[in-house]
Amino acid sequence: MPAIVLVGAQWGDEGKGKATDLLGSRVDYVVKFNGGNNAGHTVVIDDEKYALHLLPSGILTPSCTPVIGNGVVVDLSVLFDELAGLDARGIDTSKLVISADAHVIAPYNRTLDKVTERFLGSRRIGTTGRGIGPTYADKMNRIGIRVQDLFDEGILRQKVEGALELKNQVLAKIYNRRAVTVDEVVEELIEHRDALRPMVADTGLLLSKALDDGKTVLLEAGQATLLDVDHGTYPFVTSSSATAGGACTGSGIPPTRIDRVVAILKAYTTRVGEGPFPTELLDDMGEHLRKTGGEYGTTTGRPRRCGWLDVVIGRYATRVNGVTDFVITKLDTLSGLDTVKVCVAYDVDGVRHDEMPMTQSEFHHAKPIYQDLPGWWEDISGCRTFEELPVNAQRYVETVEQMIGQRVSAVGVGPGRDEIISRHDLLEE
Which residues have a Cβ under 8 Å from the Cβ of 133 and sit 6 or more positions away? 113, 116, 125, 127, 238, 239
From the CB of 134, what's the least distance to ligand IMP, in Å?
9
Q: By CB under 6 A, name the one of 6, 23, 27, 39 that touches ligand IMP.
A: 39
The residues pairing with 32 across neighbouring beta strands, listed in sequence order, are 68, 220
Q: Residue 41 Cβ, how far from ligand IMP at the closest point, in Å? A: 8
11 touches 224 (CB < 8 A): yes
Give the C-alpha separation, 136 to 105, whole Å: 9
**How many amino acids of this chain bind ligand IMP (CB under 6 A)?**
20
Please, which residues bridge with residue 310 across strands?
343
Query: What is the DSSP track for 118-146?
Result: HHHGGG-----SSSHHHHHHHHHHT---B
Nearer to ligand IMP, 109 or 335 (CB): 109
Q: Label the pairing between strands 269-271 and 305-307.
A: antiparallel
CB 10 within 8 Å of CB 309 = no
φ, ψ for residue 298, nearest 5 deg? -70, -35
Residue 276 near ligand IMP by CB under 6 A: no
| Contact pattern for ligand IMP over residues 123 through 162, marking x by CB under 6 A | --xxxx-x-xx-----------------------------
| Interface stretch with ligand IMP, choices 7-15, 191-199, 338-346, 391-399 (CB under 6 A) | 7-15
| Residue 379 annotated to the active site | no
- Which is closer to ligand IMP, CB of 75 or CB of 332? 75
DSSP string of 258-287, one letter each residue: EEEEEEEEESSEEE-SSS--TTB--SHHHH
Interface segment toward ligand IMP; rule CB under 6 A; list 122-130, 210-218, 400-408, 416-424: 122-130
Could you say which of 2, 6, 7, 12 contacts ligand IMP (CB under 6 A)? Answer: 12
Which one of residues 272, 309, 411, 421 is an interface residue with ligand IMP (CB under 6 A)?
Answer: 272
Binding letters toward ligand IMP, positions 222-261, x by CB under 6 A:
-x---x--------x-xx----------------------
Nearest C-alpha neighbor of 311 from the set 290, 326, 294, 296: 326
Q: SS3 of 139, please?
A: helix
Closer of 2 and 250 to ligand IMP (Cβ): 250
In whole angstroms, the minimum distance from the beta carbon of 35 to ligand IMP comes to 7
Q: Are strands 97-99 and 217-220 parallel, antiparallel or unpaired?
A: unpaired
Residue 262 or 272: the one with the smaller Cβ distance to ligand IMP is 272
Of the candidate residues 2, 5, 13, 167, the single one contacting ligand IMP (CB under 6 A)? 13
Cα distances (angstroms) measured from residue 388 to each of 21, 138, 327, 340, 394:
21, 52, 18, 19, 9
**13 annotated active-site:** yes
Is 273 among the residues that bind ligand IMP (CB under 6 A)? yes
Smallest distance from ligand IMP to CB 46, Å? 25
Least separation in angstroms between residue 112's CB and ligand IMP is 11
Which residue, 44 or 155, has its beta carbon nearer to ligand IMP?
44
Angle between helices 391-404 and 311-321 (to 10 degrees): 50
Comparing CA positions, the residue from 103, 158, 156, 161 lying closest to residue 132 is: 103
Report which of 169, 311, 190, 326 is spatially closest to residue 261, judged by C-alpha positions.
326
Residue 376: CB minimum distance to ligand IMP, A? 28
Q: What's the length of the chain?
A: 429
Rounded Cα–Cα distance for residues 119 and 128 (Å):
15
Selected catalytic residue, list 41, 53, 103, 231: 41
Residue 297 beta carbon to ligand IMP: minimum distance, rounded to whole angstroms: 7
End-to-end distance of the chain based on CA atoms, in angstroms? 13
CA atoms within 13 A on the CB side of 300: 14
* CB 90, min distance to ligand IMP, A: 27
* Residues forming a β-bridge with 42: 51
Q: Is 186 in the site for ligand IMP (CB under 6 A)?
A: no
> Which residue has its beta carbon closest to ligand IMP?
273
Which residues of this chain interact with ligand IMP, rule CB under 6 A?
Answer: 11-13, 38-40, 125-128, 130, 132-133, 223, 227, 236, 238-239, 272-273
Catalytic residues: 13, 41
